């Protein structure tokens, strides 16, 4: 049972004070300035190297939204929230291959986004650094997940702690509350009240106040995440995760570690740094995990060359248990976020 047993849609309207969900620079900024940023993203990325020959587009997006909720239990509340995003996707030419390098930054405010030049430069580097990529040998080795890809892995974890899936028998974590499932480095939290984070709200889609829920505490499974319906069905309280007819994340994240991503690379004898994944092959009942991937081959603590057209495979239970290093580069730029982390060993399937 969650500690917030009394939370339900009949609760009084929670305050949004201190949550930092709205910044007025998204409304006061002129459209011409936003268009200028988009053009500058495109220009800097294309000018980075003659081998960048095209683009998947550059985007400047913002929102200023007011959400109001009233229900038959007498709840009536509203809050205002903003967001801003810069992103670009330059395309580099490598023989007959086209290599896309995407990078973006998102926040509640334009003032806390990464600089336009930095975003464009990182995207261009991602495209250019994959030129000359080769297929790695099939092997068992360490796998480092870049923070954007790491967030995708955490999305698979969210699916199996979602009480709707648990109720339907579609989770390998059924009946495992209180068990050690992950390594000591695997603390995973859902927190709907982190100031300025993009998943922060004062209440969920049922009017239940959001809260901080520790899902895994140093590898030990502590709770699933519930809305009111599945909470009552499974004998637990809502955790404040109702989301428009389902259960969704607030700020669902892996707690960061002390080092930088470069430290994880430097301490890896042999492995791959995964920068992008392709396809979808996760089986929630067994935890089977498989993805096409591209990234970099690491040997003796250094990136040796880019790699592409390979598959990483394992099992989510084993992957959680084998997390042996977590970096500090956690950024709350989406509702599911993670720092770069390393799994001690997985199967990399490439050339024989």
Contact 97, 306 (CB under 8 A): no
Digit-by-digit pLDDT tens for the chain (352 residues) are: 344 444 565 556 788 889 999 999 999 999 999 999 999 999 999 999 999 999 999 999 999 999 999 988 889 999 999 999 999 999 999 999 899 999 999 999 999 999 999 999 999 999 999 999 999 999 999 999 999 999 999 999 999 999 999 999 999 999 999 999 999 999 999 999 999 999 999 999 999 999 999 999 999 999 999 999 999 999 999 999 999 889 999 999 999 999 999 999 999 999 999 999 988 778 899 999 999 999 999 999 999 999 999 999 999 999 999 999 999 999 999 999 999 999 999 999 998 8
pLDDT at site 10 = 56
DSSP β-bridge partners for residue 239: none
pLDDT at site 9 = 57
Strands of 220-221's sheet in order across = 220-221, 212-217, 188-191, 252-254, 336-337
pLDDT at site 4 = 43
CATH architecture of 25-128: 2-Layer Sandwich (3.30)
First to last CA, the chain: 50
Domain boundaries, the chain: 25-128, 133-352
Classify the phi-psi angles of 146: left when phi > 0, otherwise alpha if psi is within -120 to 50, otherwise beta.
beta
């Amino acid at each position: 049972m969650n500690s917030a047993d009394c939370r339900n849609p009949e609760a009084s309207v929670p305050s949004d004070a201190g949550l930092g969900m709205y910044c007025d620079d998204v409304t006061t900024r002129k459209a011409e300035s936003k268009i200028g940023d988009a053009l500058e993203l495109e220009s800097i990325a294309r000018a980075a190297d003659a081998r960048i020959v095209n683009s998947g587009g550059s985007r400047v997006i913002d929102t200023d939204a007011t959400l109001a909720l009233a229900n038959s239990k007498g709840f009536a509340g509203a809050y205002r929230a903003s967001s801003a995003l810069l992103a670009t996707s330059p395309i580099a030419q490598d023989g007959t291959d086209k290599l896309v390098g995407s990078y973006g930054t998102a926040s509640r405010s334009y003032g806390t986004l990464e600089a336009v030049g930095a975003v464009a430069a990182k995207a261009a580097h991602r495209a250019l650094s994959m030129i000359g990529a080769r297929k790695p040998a099939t092997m068992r080795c360490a796998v480092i997940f870049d923070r954007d890809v790491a967030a995708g892995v955490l999305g698979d974890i969210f699916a199996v702690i979602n009480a709707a899936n648990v109720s339907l028998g579609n989770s390998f974590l059924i009946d495992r509350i209180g068990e050690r499932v992950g390594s000591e480095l695997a603390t995973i939290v859902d927190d709907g009240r982190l100031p300025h984070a993009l998943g922060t709200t004062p209440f969920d889609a049922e009017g239940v106040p959001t809260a901080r829920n520790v899902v895994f505490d140093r590898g030990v499974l502590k709770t699933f995440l519930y809305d009111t319906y599945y909470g009552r069905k499974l004998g637990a309280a809502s955790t404040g995760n109702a989301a428009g007819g389902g259960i969704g994340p607030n700020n669902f994240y892996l707690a960061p570690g002390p080092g930088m991503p470069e430290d994880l690379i430097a301490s890896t004898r042999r492995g791959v740094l995964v920068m992008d994944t392709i396809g979808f092959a996760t089986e929630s009942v067994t935890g089977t995990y498989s993805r096409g991937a591209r990234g970099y081959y690491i040997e003796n603590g250094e990136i040796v060359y880019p790699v592409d057209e390979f598959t990483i495979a394992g099992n989510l239970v084993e992957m959680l248990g084998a997390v042996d290093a977590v970096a500090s580069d956690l950024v709350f730029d989406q509702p599911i976020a993670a720092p770069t982390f390393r799994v001690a060993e997985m199967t990399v399937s490439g050339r024989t």
